[in-house]
Amino acid sequence: MPKGFPTTVPDDGLTTRQRRNRPLLIVHTGEMKGKSTAAFGLALRAWNQGWPVGVFQFVKSAKWKVGEEAAFRALGRVHEHSGEGAPVEWHKMGEGWSWIQRERLDEDADRSARDAREGWAQIKRDLAAEKFGCYVLDEFTYPMTWGWVEVAEVIETLADRPGHQHVIITGRGADPALIQAADLVVEMTKIKHPMDAGQKGQRGIEW
């Protein structure tokens, strides 16, 4: 049997070609590092295909992932100047989302819940407009876990998304219903971590 041959052929009325090019819902979950980094690696492939990349970081701290952000912003500029690759947008909840103009309030759970809901509302608008070819919803499992965003509504919206839009969701503790709905799920498992040997996080590795 050829390598990479599917083990079953589904009865879904699609041709192999249609099935092959179906947009994917991908979930990276598990306790260990690599969930977001692998998602950004996929986004590099999307960029190279000319698919606009939209990153939505559902985290509070702006310290993390500055390396990926700087690199993707540089790739976005490469596209602007030379036409190579694709446009890139990078939005951060930790800074109150770039599209929202308002006074910065104190940190509180209500604000986080509202910010998370606003992030998801923007993603829904972008999905409806088919704005990006690749969405990275980084750490998006947490607002779902905390009930800030409704799991069932996320799944329904993603199932009904138009066109050819890949969506990658990262974060620990992905909801079983989200895993059920996803096309591809990877769990990052810890075998060994420097903190076990008394080493704290470091520049260039953790961010």
**Segment 28 to 47, residues that bind a second copy, using CB under 8 A:** 28-30, 32-34, 36-42, 44-47
Q: C-alpha angle 185/139/71, rounded to 5°?
A: 95
Do the Cβ atoms of 207 and 33 come closer than 8 Å?
no
From 91-99, 118-126, 152-160, 178-186, span contacting a second copy (CB under 8 A): 178-186
Told to check if 197 binds a second copy by CB under 8 A, we report yes
| Interface with a second copy (CB under 8 A), residue from 63, 71, 130, 152 | 71
Span 76-95, contacts to a second copy by CB under 8 A: 77-78, 84-85
Spatial separation of the C-alpha atoms in residues 137 and 134, rounded to whole Å: 10
| Interface with a second copy (CB under 8 A), residue from 61, 63, 66, 147 | 66
> SS3 of 176, please?
helix
Spatial separation of the C-alpha atoms in residues 136 and 121, rounded to whole Å: 15
Q: Smallest gap, in angstroms, from Cβ of residue 13 to a second copy?
A: 12
> SS3 of 166, please?
strand
Rg (the chain; Cα; Å)? 18
From 55-63, 68-76, 90-98, 101-109, span contacting a second copy (CB under 8 A): 68-76
Span 141-170, contacts to a second copy by CB under 8 A: 166
Query: What secondary structure letter does DSSP report for 60?
Result: S
Residue whose CB is less far from a second copy, 104 or 192: 192
Residue whose CB is less far from a second copy, 122 or 175: 175
Span 112-131, contacts to a second copy by CB under 8 A: none
Torsion angle defined by CA atoms of residues 137, 64, 71 and 199, in that order, rounded to the nearest 10 degrees: -120
| Interface with a second copy (CB under 8 A), residue from 100, 153, 163, 199 | 199
From 101-109, 118-126, 143-151, 197-205, span contacting a second copy (CB under 8 A): 197-205
Number of residues that bind a second copy (CB under 8 A): 75
Cβ atoms within 10 Å of 47's Cβ, excluding its own: 23
Full DSSP string of 23-39: --EEEEESSSTTHHHHH
Provide the terminal-to-terminal Cα distance of the chain, rounded to the nearest Å: 43
Told to check if 196 binds a second copy by CB under 8 A, we report yes
Q: Smallest gap, in angstroms, from Cβ of residue 2 to a second copy?
A: 10
Tell me the residue type at 143: P
